[in-house]
Amino acid sequence: MRVLTLWVVVNDNDLYELKEQRPLIIPADKLPIRIYVKNGFHLSKPFVISQPLTENFFIDIGCEADNERLWGSILTSSLLFVVFIATHLQLFIIMANLPLFYIIYKFFFNPKEFITIEKLVRKKKTPENKKRNQRYQFP
């Protein structure tokens, strides 16, 4: 089940749904290209490509409350709440709420950094990697 849906906006005209673990191909017809990501409540800082591209360009979209973190916090809170029910120690009820308070803080009080866009940098070929790749080449 998907909890958080992200949308990629290109040049304030084109809207693409960002699917998890799937690449999104954006045509680079007109320069500059202004890309930002939104989820309905938050907007990322704009990412601008102003120079012509000679090869594929990869960017990484990050979100503070992605599905794994959200479900992880819900599971952790539930387990700590069950421990509180069994032991009646107040410490566990406080600890059970901390993961959810953290996500609420990131969602409502830190909106500028909730969604991030970063350029992925290719690893440079080193002589060690080149030798490793040559070993496994087939004729």
- Report the pLDDT averaged over residues 58-82: 86
Instruction: Report the C-alpha gap between 128 and 123 in whole angstroms.
Output: 13
Q: Around 85, how many Cα atoms within 13 Å sit in the side-chain half-sphere?
A: 6
- Position 133 scores a pLDDT of 43
Domain boundaries, the chain: 6-122
pTM exceeds cut of 0.95 = no
- Report the pLDDT averaged over residues 23-34: 83
- Position 124 scores a pLDDT of 63
Percent of the chain, pLDDT > 90?
19
- Position 126 scores a pLDDT of 59
Question: Which tokens go with 105?
Answer: 């803080």
- 120 pLDDT tier (thresholds 50, 70, 90): confident
- Looking at residue 43, the DSSP 8-state letter turns out to be B
- Report the pLDDT averaged over residues 106-111: 80
- Report the pLDDT averaged over residues 87-101: 92
- Position 79 scores a pLDDT of 95
Instruction: Report the C-alpha gap between 56 and 88 in whole angstroms.
Output: 57
- Position 2 scores a pLDDT of 54
- Position 132 scores a pLDDT of 47
- Looking at residue 12, the DSSP 8-state letter turns out to be T
